[in-house]
Amino acid sequence: MECADYLIGSSRRRSSPPPLSPSKDTWRPEKQWRKATNVIRTCHRLLRLSLLSAGGIIRRSPSYVKIKIHDISDDDELAVDNSGVVAFTVAADDESFKNLVKHKRDDCLRQLGGVAGVAAALASGADRGIRGDGADVARRKAAFGTNTYPKPKPKSFLRHVYDALADVFLIVLLVCAAVSLAFGIKEHGIRDGWYDGVSIFLAVFLVAAVSAVSNHGQARRFDKLAHQSENVAVTVVRGGAGRRQEVSIFDVVVGDVIVLKIGDVVPADGVFLDGHALQIDESSMTGEPHPVEIDATSSPFLASGVKVVDGYGRMLVTAVGTDTAWGEMMSSITRDVTADPTPLQERLERLTTSIGKVGVAVAVLVFAVLTSRHFTGSTKDENGNRVFDRRRDATFNGVFSGLVGIFQQAVTIIVVAIPEGLPLAVTLTLAFSMKRMVRENALVRRLSACETMGSVTAICTDKTGTLTLNQMKVNEFWVGGERLRSVAGEVSVEIVALIRQGVGLNTTGSVYEADNVSPPEITGSPTEKALLTWAVEELAMDVDVLKRGSKVLRVEAFNSDKKRSGVMVRDAATGVVTAHWKGAAEMVLARCSTFVPKDGGAARQLGVEERTKLENVINDMAAASLRCIAFAYKEITIIDGGDEHGKIDDEGLTLLGFVGLKDPCRPEVKSSIKACTNAGIAVKMVTGDNLLTARAIAKECGIITSESDVIIEGHVFRAMSPSQQLAIVDDIRVMARSLPLDKLTLVQRLKQKGHVVAVTGDGTNDAPALKEADVGLAMGIQGTEVAKESSDIVILNDNFDTVVTATRWGRCVYNNIQKFIQFQLTVNVAALVVNFVSALTTGKMPLTTVQLLWVNLIMDTMGALALATDTPTKGMMQRKPIGRTAPLISNAMWRNLAAQAAYQIAVLLALQYKGREIFGDSGEKENGTMIFNAFVFCQVFNEFNAREIERRNVFAGVVKNRMFLGIVAVTVALQVVMVEVLTRFAGTERLGWAQWGVCVAIAAVSWPIGWVVKCIPVPERPIYEIIAARRRRRSA
């Protein structure tokens, strides 16, 4: 091999080329020849290398230079207009081109000159793709459209306001406000009679506006997250030099060459360029469940949205966006699709309904009592006079005005009693959690997954990339049962050449060399990248030379069932056909009958002794946490007329050698698994690796901690009966050499045992297990699009620590909802009891309609904002998982709620009956203001109590929660405005400093009460279960 490879071709042009401008993108042969001459002369003077002693293996070093000067051949030549810009010879609306793939028009494809003709018409090439700079992409988008489709417009802010006002009780209040406004103006004149009616109007609109602002913000966040989940990366060939790069699916344009592999979703319509054993699932488009084989002759069309289930290949994009069948279908969906309620939301709806019924019953009683007392003359004003005088007020206006006022108060009680803030709290905490989880590399695709993660009791996780760093490197190389320290001088040239073929041609990765100085860009899976990097650096492999010297006849892609991949190639010089296999070492070794010694020569028979020795090599590498990959080959004789595209022979192979790949454990994974164990979550590793490799990694990660932990292979688990599987499933910690169906069976058995199961997966075959699990977690880096579509959460960094983070956030969601329920029910109970008792005894309620609406605003919207946005604490991972059917209101919550509600009822009723005496004969309005102010401040202080259901320190982490502190500050500030400024609007009277101090002191007592109450132990078993058990014992 010479020191430099000169690939210099003359530029051939068409017979009648258009005039070329001196654009920088135009091919200038005279300049290229000049550059080539200078480089050749310089290299000739500086570099004169002979073959290395090892048989021509040139190691990569600073002195080795490889020069490539690309030419423009006939099939690469582009039509260039006068401005030097590449022109298209076909338009999106051409009849022969339009709907080419959508209607599978074979005749039009032939008219256009086949796939090569379409590529030329689109100024693209099978090997080099499009030019791909900004201007080229922009012109293609302008000419053929973008790879997007119109979506339904999201709800506007005014629509959210309208939805908030559509609440039936708020509508009733608006009607009452209109009637009150009319009667007020009629009785007191427009100057003084508009206050009550307008005040209610403003209060209702304020409640609706705050709710609309919150809902509108959350809707925008959900839309943003949905867009992020749809924005997948697509591998394209661009730049005119065959370079692979990843672009957003939204940036795919007509003319792009797309690289497809197992698990990919086809991003646009196109035609098949090349590939091997490419099969697609068209069930999303046609409903047919059977895979369809794609080839260049009988079935070259690939529709957007279909999934690749086997093989790999490349396609040329011919239509994007709404010009595709998938885009046309999606753009026709114009209605606003509402997300299904999560299980927690459904349970809260039932709780809201139950509380609402109680509120309606209380409101009906209050209305009946107030009405009877009002019209019998029992209700008196602050001066002791009857509010209703039969001789004076026994008119239609008087009676109707009194009924409207009483009805208004009753409706207000219903508005306060119904906890409409509960659904809002769920939406807030889910949206907040989703937003924060994305920051921590967990993209939630299904809302219910957030809350379900809080109940997970078992996690079935992959090994590679999840527990390990996914940074593989070849650490060991064995040939003929001997470990080699270096390749040069130790291995024969023939073996090196065969291994080069086995690595460079039997791969889904690629090697791109941009220039003579930069290191090559290697793409592919972590295993492929590690093998290609090793072959390039240690074996001096040149992929371009390999591809020019061999023709690939057939490929069998790697999958998790057979755990190996094969390729059949024909040597261009000799015509020899060779089958190359690589894969899991014990799988490949089992199909070998001979092996090659390291010094070359004839292959030797693989006897029992030699096989045992090689098996020990595999076991030793596995015990050292190395993934062992074997290479084998077989020369194949194809008889004239034989099928060279048939199944690749994998029997009687000749073993070339082993490589050991090291993938270290992630540094944080051991502490993460320990956190799961402390939280009552069992972690089970399911891997396709060797049993010894799996055991070593599991011990290193902390999954195996005792001798009772079961390590099992997939085929052993498969052979068990369902009852045997159920008996052992809880103790399984590692499942090695497993198939995707083994993972599915494991999940099913765990669910039968009552576990809430989370599963991680990255492959297409993992989709059934991801769907079967309570929470499916797909890997964002190595995961296929099929796996991601089957998942509930996408782990963007493929890190197990992020799975633990998602679990922590799931527990936080449930905990935040419980805190808000405790806070809201405390307010509900106190407000209902105080108003009901006061109505029965005095004939009037201590709080006006506007004041009650203000309290409703504080406890519903602002309370939800304050309590639903708390972040997870370390203590959450010290508790047992939340049961699937655990009650929303725990015994501890009932204890806290009862204590706080009882205190608030006692204090407010004392102020109602004795307040005027205690505070020195204050007026009724002033006393009512004291009750209102004390009640609101009790809720402010109780918000702190609600932050912790069981812990006594309610101030832990409060400084970090700026949202909570901000809501409390805003609430206090607005309360001051309500009392001191908006006196006529709120029906209040200004208070002195002493009165403010009394109100704050009354509210502050709730803190020590909360601390003392939490010292009282309560059983973990729900109260209703305890009562039911006692009844059963009595009946027995």
DSSP letter string over 958-971? TTT-HHHHHHHHHH
For residues 915 and 825, state if they share a domain.
Answer: yes
**What pLDDT, on a 0 to 100 scale, did the predictor assign at position 287?**
62
For residues 518 and 572, state if they share a domain.
Answer: yes
**What pLDDT, on a 0 to 100 scale, did the predictor assign at position 780?**
85
For residues 240 and 131, state if they share a domain.
Answer: yes
Q: How far apart are CA 780 and CA 778, in angstroms?
A: 6
For residues 853 and 774, state if they share a domain.
Answer: no
Q: Token pair of 977, please?
A: 């405005």
Report residue 64's pLDDT band, with 50, 70 and 90 as the boundaries. Answer: very low
**What pLDDT, on a 0 to 100 scale, did the predictor assign at position 284?**
66
338 has a pLDDT exceeding 70: no
Q: What is the DSSP letter of 68?
A: B
> Is 32 domain-assigned?
yes
Q: Token pair of 240, please?
A: 């005119």
Report residue 364's pLDDT band, with 50, 70 and 90 as the boundaries. Answer: confident
Q: Which residues contact 973 (CB under 8 A, 6 or more apart)?
A: none
Q: How far apart are CA 642 and CA 624, in angstroms?
A: 45
36 has a pLDDT exceeding 70: no
For residues 494 and 576, state if they share a domain.
Answer: yes
Token look-up 């390990």 returns 468
Nearest alpha carbon to residue 862 among 898, 832, 828, 820: 820
Q: How far is CA 720 from the centre of its chain?
A: 35
> Is 529 domain-assigned?
yes
Please list the active-site residues: 462
Q: How far apart are CA 468 and CA 685, in angstroms?
A: 12
**What pLDDT, on a 0 to 100 scale, did the predictor assign at position 86?**
57
| Mean pLDDT over each residue of the chain, to the nearest integer | 81
Q: How far apart are CA 197 and CA 620, in angstroms?
A: 85
778 has a pLDDT exceeding 50: yes
Compute CA distances 397 → 184, 203, 573, whole Å: 11, 25, 109
> Is 741 domain-assigned?
yes
For the chain, report the end-to-end CA distance as a whole number of angstroms: 95
For residues 395 and 290, state if they share a domain.
Answer: no
Q: What is the DSSP letter of 28?
A: -
Q: Which pLDDT tens digit goes with each residue over 165-182?
A: 887 767 877 887 787 788
For residues 789 and 715, state if they share a domain.
Answer: yes
556 has a pLDDT exceeding 80: yes
Q: Which pLDDT tens digit goes with each residue over 898-915?
A: 999 999 999 999 998 888
> Is 180 domain-assigned?
no
> Is 926 domain-assigned?
yes
For residues 76 and 96, state if they share a domain.
Answer: no
Report residue 25's pLDDT band, with 50, 70 and 90 as the boundaries. Answer: very low
**What pLDDT, on a 0 to 100 scale, did the predictor assign at position 613?**
94
4 has a pLDDT exceeding 60: no
Residue with more model confidence, 466 or 735: 735
- Angular region, 79: left φ>0, alpha ψ -120 to 50, beta rest: beta
Query: For the whole prediction, is pTM greater than 0.75?
Result: no
Question: Considering just the CA atoms, what is the radius of gyration of the chain in Å?
Answer: 38
Of the given ranges (141-145, 346-350, 501-505, 617-621), which has the lowest mean pLDDT?
A: 346-350
Q: Which pLDDT tens digit goes with each residue over 434-466?
A: 888 888 999 888 878 888 898 899 999 988 878
Amino acid letter at 638?
Answer: I
Q: How far apart are CA 17 and CA 9, in angstroms?
A: 19
For residues 358 and 401, state if they share a domain.
Answer: yes
Q: Which residues in 249-330 belong to E strands, given as ranges? A: 257-260, 269-281, 292-293, 301-302, 307-319
For residues 684 and 817, state if they share a domain.
Answer: no
CATH code of the domain covering residue 115: 2.70.150.10
Q: Which residues contact 1024 (CB under 8 A, 6 or more apart)?
A: 887
Secondary structure tally for the chain: helices H, strands E: 36, 26
For residues 330 and 457, state if they share a domain.
Answer: no
> Is 185 domain-assigned?
no
> Is 78 domain-assigned?
yes
CATH code of the domain covering residue 733: 3.40.50.1000
Q: What is the mean pLDDT of residues 303-312?
A: 85
Q: How far apart are CA 293 and CA 310, in angstroms?
A: 9
Give the CA dihedral 876, 877, 880, 884, nearest 10 degrees. 70
Identify the domain boundary among 42, 63, 87.
87
Q: How far apart are CA 870 and CA 872, in angstroms?
A: 7
Q: Are 480 and 494 in contact (CB under 8 A)?
A: no
Q: Are 541 and 500 in contact (CB under 8 A)?
A: yes
Phi, psi (deg, nearest 5) at residue 238: -140, 175
> Is 130 domain-assigned?
yes
Compute CA distances 380 → 183, 397, 688, 814, 834, whole Å: 21, 19, 83, 48, 19
CATH code of the domain covering residue 552: 3.40.1110.10
942 has a pLDDT exceeding 90: yes
Q: Which residues contact 293 (CB under 8 A, 6 or more apart)?
A: 277, 278, 279, 299
Residue with more model confidence, 586 or 419: 586
Report residue 55's pLDDT band, with 50, 70 and 90 as the boundaries. Answer: very low
Domains of the chain: total:
5
Q: Which pLDDT tens digit goes with each residue over 209-224?
A: 877 887 787 777 777 7
1008 has a pLDDT exceeding 90: yes
Compute CA distances 373 → 362, 377, 401, 847, 914, whole Å: 16, 6, 15, 18, 21
**What pLDDT, on a 0 to 100 scale, did the predictor assign at position 628?**
93
1019 has a pLDDT exceeding 90: no
Q: How far apart are CA 769 and CA 758, in angstroms?
A: 10
Q: How far apart are CA 446 and CA 448, in angstroms?
A: 6
Q: Token pair of 233, please?
A: 């990366």
Q: What is the mean pLDDT of residues 538-546?
A: 89
Identify the domain boundary among 798, 829, 857.
798
Half-sphere exposure of 316 (CA within 13 A, CB side): 27
Report residue 51's pLDDT band, with 50, 70 and 90 as the boundaries. Answer: very low
Residue with more model confidence, 427 or 715: 715
Token look-up 């001979």 returns 594
Of the given ranges (294-308, 312-326, 330-344, 501-515), which has the lowest mean pLDDT?
A: 330-344
Phi, psi (deg, nearest 5) at residue 556: -115, 110
For residues 564 and 581, state if they share a domain.
Answer: yes
**What pLDDT, on a 0 to 100 scale, did the predictor assign at position 106?**
86
Biggest CA–CA distance in the chain, Å, is 126
Q: Are 302 and 340 in contact (CB under 8 A)?
A: no
Q: Are 560 and 763 in contact (CB under 8 A)?
A: yes
Domain carrying residue 71: 1-87
Identify the domain boundary among 798, 819, 847.
798
